């Protein structure tokens, strides 16, 4: 068996400074560079390593190839009191999605509920960041984004959907909101790649090979397709995400969504955001009291064998974030070396030690 990847612990503030400096060096404005860096580091703080600073190299590579715009070209194409359509200008998805969230919050404040559709965007990172921002303003948030094809619809043996994530966040009016974020696939392709690198089999049910057969072999899985979580249920959710993100917004959908690995094609990813005041149908105090009652009742239920605490969506990530803010973020040495090379190419000082 191949040795597992080594890790080092880095300081989150120093990491954010280095990452923002890298994006400034590739002609992003100070505001946009900081926004991207904060988002990526937040993903690492929450334990979503696949959407954290490991993404810096792929983002920079696409900026170098002019497949993503460094200058902010985001435009509002349709604007109404409770909804609008945003053309992302082929900017980095994190920048585009952040702008869309600002718009949906402001519109919800004025009208009670609002939605924003986005086209001509790119990979926007961790959806939980955006729904959390909505919940932090006291609103119920919902977000979806489509992605490049990697998953076969239920009953098919060819990939069509992306991992097509969805997220919701519910304000609790405490320091911890309820925050749910999931891919509609059983597993991210990154975990299959990890198994291949470490000479491990994968569980049956994660993926199919190119012939549509279940496989435990990670190489065959990467040549085939990941599977939807919950079978037809996950497939149905992935379909909804593609319709809301791609068809409703006028973005690409299905196999038309460009892959970040293609060096001659733009992505045209679509996103869809929704925000709603929690007191449209009941008084705000009633909503707050009911949410607290719901949380208490769930957490006080009899625990299954081996379970120490019943966790609500987001609690595990809040705990991990608090720990990593204090003790540092574990990063693979490969990721640190990649960041170091990118920084030194542009003469950026590189110090991450915790």
pTM of the model: 0.94
Query: Residue 196 has what pLDDT?
Result: 81
Q: What is the pLDDT of residues 209-264, one digit of tens each?
A: 999 999 999 999 988 999 999 999 999 999 999 999 999 999 999 999 999 888 88
pLDDT band for 354, please (50, 70, 90 cuts). low
pLDDT 10s digits, 137-170: 999 999 999 999 999 999 999 999 999 999 999 9
pLDDT exceeds cutoff 90 at 1: no
Instruction: State the average pLDDT over residues 106-128.
Output: 98
Entry field: residues in the chain: 354
DSSP H helical segments within the chain, as ranges?
12-25, 30-45, 56-64, 93-111, 127-136, 189-197, 218-223, 232-242, 284-299, 315-327, 333-345
pLDDT greater than 80 at residue 202: yes
Question: Is pLDDT above 50 for 113?
Answer: yes
The mean predicted confidence, pLDDT, of the chain is 94
120 touches 90 (CB < 8 A) = yes
Q: Which tens digits make up the pLDDT trace of 311-348?
A: 999 999 999 999 999 999 999 888 999 999 999 999 99
Burial 82-94 (b: 16+ CB within 10 A, else e): ebbbbbbbbbbbb
Facing residues of 168 across strands? 142, 180
| pLDDT attached to residue 349 | 87
Percent of the chain at pLDDT > 70 equals: 97
3-state helix, strand, coil in the chain (%, to 5): 40, 20, 40
Higher per-residue pLDDT: 49 or 91: 91
**What's the pLDDT at 45?**
98
pLDDT for 2: 41
Q: Phi and psi at residue 313, in whole multiples of 5°?
A: -55, 130
């Amino acid at each position: 068996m191949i040795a597992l990847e080594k890790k080092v612990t880095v300081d989150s503030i120093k990491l954010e400074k280095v990452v923002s400096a890298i994006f400034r060096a590739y002609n992003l404005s100070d505001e946009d560079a900081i926004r991207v860096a904060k988002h990526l580091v937040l993903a690492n703080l929450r334990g979503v390593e696949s959407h954290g600073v490991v993404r810096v190299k792929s983002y920079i590579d696409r900026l170098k190839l002019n497949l993503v715009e460094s200058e902010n070209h985001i435009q509002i194409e349709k604007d109404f009191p409770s909804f609008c359509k945003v053309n992302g200008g082929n900017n980095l998805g994190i920048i585009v999605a952040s702008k869309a969230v600002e718009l949906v919050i402001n519109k919800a404040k004025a009208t009670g509920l609002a939605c924003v559709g986005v086209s001509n965007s790119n990979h926007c990172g961790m959806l939980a960041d955006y729904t959390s921002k909505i919940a932090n303003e006291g609103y119920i948030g919902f977000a979806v984004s489509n992605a490049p094809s990697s998953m076969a619809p239920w009953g098919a043996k060819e990939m069509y959907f992306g991992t097509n994530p969805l997220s919701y966040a519910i304000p609790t009016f405490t320091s911890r909101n309820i925050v749910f974020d999931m891919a509609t696939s059983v597993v991210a392709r990154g975990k299959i790649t990890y198994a291949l690198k470490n000479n491990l089999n994968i569980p049956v049910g994660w993926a199919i090979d190119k012939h549509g057969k279940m496989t435990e072999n990670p190489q065959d899985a990467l040549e085939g397709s990941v599977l939807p979580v919950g079978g037809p249920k996950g497939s149905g959710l992935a379909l909804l995400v593609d319709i809301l993100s791609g068809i409703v917004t006028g973005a690409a959908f299905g196999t038309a969504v460009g892959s970040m690995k293609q060096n001659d094609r733009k992505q045209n990813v679509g996103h869809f955001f929704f925000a709603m005041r929690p007191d449209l149908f009941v008084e705000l105090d009633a909503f707050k009291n009911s949410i607290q009652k719901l949380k208490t009742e769930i957490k006080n239920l009899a625990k299954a064998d081996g379970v120490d605490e019943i966790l609500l969506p987001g609690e595990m990530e809040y705990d991990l974030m608090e720990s990593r803010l204090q003790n540092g973020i574990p990063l693979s040495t490969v990721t640190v070396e990649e960041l170091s090379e990118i920084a030194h190419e542009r003469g950026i000082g590189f110090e991450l030690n915790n």
